[in-house]
Amino acid sequence: MSKIINIKKAVFEHKLKQSDTKQYSGYLFEDVYPNIDKLLEVFDNSGIEERNFCIPIEFFQKDNPFSLKNNLFREIALKKSIELIKENISETGLKLDEITDIIFINTTGLSTPSLDASIVNSLKMNPNINRYPIWGLGCAGGVSGIAKANMIAKSNPNAIVLVIAAELCSLTFRRNDLSKSNFVATSLFSDGIASIIVAGDKSSNRFDIKFDVEILSSQSRLYYDSEDVMGWEFLDDGFKVVFSKDIPTIVRDNVKPDIESFLRNNGIGISDIENFIAHPGGAKVIQAYIDSLGLNTDKVFNSREILRKFGNMSSVSVLYVLEKFLSDGFTDGYGLLISLGPGFSSEMCLLKMKNK
C-alpha cells in the first residue's frame, strides 16, 4: 500500500474578517437587490470567521481584466507552490531528483504549459519526471489527486509522488457580475495551496514520520444529468461561477448510499470510520453530512474549523482538513477522505491511520 508521508499548507498574508467582506459585498450589490440586508445573512450563516487571500482587498475594488488576474494566478501559485515543496523536501529529507511523479491540481487559473512544468523547471527536478496536470474537478480535486497518487504508487512501489493543489479563488472574482451565484460565492471562497508527498511500498519505509497513514482504496462517482449544478461559464472577462442552491440537498440524498457502497466493498461500514475527513464546502454541506450519515458533531469538528478559519478553497480545503488531523491528532483506525465537485461528482479515499 502507498502511504502519505508529509503534507504542508500555505497561509496567505492577506486575512479578511467575514464582517469586512460582508460590508464590501453590501456596498457592491445594494443597488441591485432592494432586500440586500436579508441577502447579507448568508455571510452570518456561513460558518466562516475569516478567510485568506493572495492579494489585498483593494485589488477587487476596480474592474480587472482576465489577463491580469490569470497572470497573477500563474505568478503567485508558482511562487507559493515552490515554497511549500521546499518545506516538504526539507522536512522529509528527500532530494528533488528522487520525486518520480508530480500531480498538479487546480480549477481557478489557466496555464499551458501547466504549472507543474514551471515547477519542474524552476526547481530543476528530474527531467524524466511523470507529470499529471488535473484541471476542472473543482472541490473534488484534492481527494482525486490523493487517489491518483495511490494508483501511481501501486503500479510502481518505488514511486515518490508529489501532489500539489493550488486554488486562488479570489482571482476569479468578476466585479461586474451581480448575480446571486456570485453574491453567494463572495461569502464562501478563498485562496489556498497544499503540497503532499505519497510514497509507494518500497519507498515509504525510509521516512521517519510521526504517523502511519496508508491509502487503501478510492472511488469516483459521476451523477448523471447534473452538469449544471456547479462549475464555470467562460465569458470574455473571466470565469462566471455556476453554483446551485440544491448542492446540500444533493449531498443529503446521495452521499450515504455512495459511502455505504464504497465501504461495503472494503469490508467495513460507516460505524468503522474513526476519522471523517470531509471537504467543508459550506455550513449547509457539512450539516448535510451530519444529517444523512447520523454523525456526531465532533466527527466534523476539523472540517468546521477549516471552514471557520479559511473558508472554501475549492480542491485545497479537504487537504487542509487532512493536515489538521495529521498535525493535531487523530484516532487510530479508518479514515474517510471525501469531497464533491463539478460534474456533479464525488471522490473518496479510504485510509488506515495509526499513530506511531
Active site residues: 139
C-alpha cell at 324: 489538521
Residue 127: cis peptide before it, omega within 30 degrees of 0: no
Cell numbers standing for residue 131: 507529470
Q: Mind spelling out the 3-state secondary structure of the chain?
A: CEEEEEEEECCCCEEEEHHHHHHHHHHHHCCCCCCHHHHCHHHHCCCCCEEEECCCHHHHHCCCCHHHHHHHHHHHHHHHHHHHHHHHHHHHCCCHHHCCEEEEEECCCCCCCCHHHHHHHHHCCCCCCEEEEEECCHHHHHHHHHHHHHHHHHHCCCCEEEEEEEEEHHHHCCCCCCCHHHHHHHCCECEEEEEEEEECHHHHCCCCCCEEEEEEEEEEEECCCCCCCEEEEEECCEEEEEECCCHHHHHHHHHHHHHHHHHHHCCCCHHHEEEEEECCCCHHHHHHHHHHHCCCHHHHHHHHHHHHHHCECHHHHHHHHHHHHHHHCCCCEEEEEEEEECCCEEEEEEEEEEEC
Burial class (CB in 10 A: 0-12, 13-18, 19+), 27: exposed
CA distance 349 to 356: 21
